[in-house]
Structure 1
């Protein structure tokens, strides 16, 4: 999974989507065709949720936004079943970001408001969630909320300390990327 995320940094969505779809399908097959205890089952469900994070990002890059939306929602379900609220929130905020970039949604899908609630957890995760949520709010003309969410992005980034435990999938989020997202 880590390798696929890093491949997405250098390979376009149209070229990468077949491999990412295959990996997601295999992870879903393990969840659906296996027997395990609830505790053991959380890990494969989290893997499905993490795969469902990359697959729609790549699908959206390949201009397949309808597929991306469906995969985001299935990933949210898997993450919730795994008890992984951070991942479920990340998937919703990414879906909001995607919707803001492919159309004009009538209302925000995911809102990190109030920003103080969105800023609990690993700092980079909070920054990513706040930033994505703000993109979902801007097209909906949620003017008072979007700037607060963008302020929360900066606050979350400034709260980072060496050694903070963060999900691997936030590796690319640094101050420069946060500035780019805020500019959008």
Structure 2
């Protein structure tokens, strides 16, 4: 540890450090809890372990971590955020570090299954920031460097998704772009496709469906014919949604067909862990959402009803979102009583979920039910939820996903 602390110091600080034996004695005292390190040792420790000083020393008097927007601002303000500094004297990293980062990013993805964006956004961006610092502040082989860049890309993808769920749409888009750069530098076409597709989904849902179509097409092209089956299915699925939001029905139907064909080819091929959630249920839900967007409720309602009957209730946010699509489809099918029942469940599920997505979807569904205010079940629901006044076009766009 004394050697690593010395290596982490700049030339001027290194000249001021005590002899090795004295430093070892100090380290023993620190590790035994007899004393706390002071400057410059706290800084050196934080460099060695690539962890924020306040977090490493559990300094509860310090600020409780930077806001996610500040983390991203710092990353993007650097001229080349993904280029390691020249002649850096950090640790020599190996595949164990890559494995640790892969486990942490997958843990973050699993957390997103059950924790909404407003609760998860700070941990997500703290992890992204830490991954970038690991890459920038250490040395490694070329292969390990590419793997670290891929890890940054994966952290950026899930962090962007979390930011979007928290309602931070520009922050989400900027984070996806950072991830796209990392995946491109890593020469990981499948990951780059996933990030471009995530950005396509983001811009589609905030009111730029034609730009979303262009990006989603780029994601399909980047994936190419040799990407894992579920990666190709996901890219086509996002293209289908962008076409639907742009009102391009035939193109949306074709893309759905391509997604299904790609998923049918899924077997035992090696694939990235971030594709774990792409399955027949998810494609069926997207198909139903496309039909709902295109005002074809007779196709949408049976699909959504079938999937929701077996959907994992622990995924509260997704369950509420998919029920909201069912409610809209039922309203379009002139079934206001059933739509009201589905909406009531959406509101119950989303009441304690810190998600901008569910909040905006609730507004969209309640606004859609306004046309049936004379139906007793709908009237009672709208009276209990006065926010049912028609939402603005901006709010409708925000709630589109």
Same fold, TM-score > 0.5, yes or no:
yes
Q: Distance in 1 between matches of 2:244 and 2:286?
A: 12
Other structure's SS at 1:52 match: helix
Are positions 1:129 and 2:235 aligned together?
yes
Q: Is the 8 A contact 1:99 1:105 kept in 2?
A: yes
Structure with the larger RCO, 1 or 2 (CA within 8 Å, 6+ apart): 1
Are positions 1:77 and 2:214 aligned together?
no
> Of residues 127, 137, 140 in structure 2, which corresponds to 1:23?
127
Other structure's SS at 2:114 match: coil
Give the drift of 1:165. 1.3
Q: Distance in 2 between matches of 1:114 and 1:145?
A: 14
So what's the TM-score if we normalise by structure 1? 0.90
Q: 1:114 to 1:166 in 2, by over 3 A?
A: closer
Whose Rg is larger? 2
So what's the TM-score if we normalise by structure 2? 0.43
Matches within 5 A, 1:92-131: 92-107=196-211, 108=213, 109-111=215-217, 118-131=224-237
Are positions 1:177 and 2:177 aligned together?
no
Q: Distance in 2 between matches of 1:67 and 1:127?
A: 26
Stretches of 4+ moved more than 6 A in 1? none
Give the drift of 1:112. 5.7
Q: Is the 8 A contact 1:118 1:130 kept in 2?
A: no
Which residue does 1:46 correspond to in 2? Answer: 150
Q: Distance in 2 between matches of 1:138 and 1:104?
A: 12
Give the drift of 1:143. 4.3
Deviates more, 1:32-41 or 1:140-149: 140-149
> Of residues 167, 173, 183 in structure 2, which corresponds to 1:63?
167
Q: Is the 8 A contact 1:134 1:149 kept in 2?
A: yes
Are positions 1:2 and 2:101 aligned together?
no
Q: What per-residue deviation string (whole Å, max 9, x for no partner) do you get for residues 112-169 of structure 1?
A: 6988x744321111111111122233334444433222111100111112x2211111
Q: Is the 8 A contact 2:204 2:210 kept in 1?
A: no
Q: Unaligned stretches of 5+ in structure 1?
A: none
Deviates more, 1:50-59 or 1:132-141: 132-141
Q: Unaligned stretches of 5+ in structure 2?
A: 1-104, 290-401
RMSD: 2.0
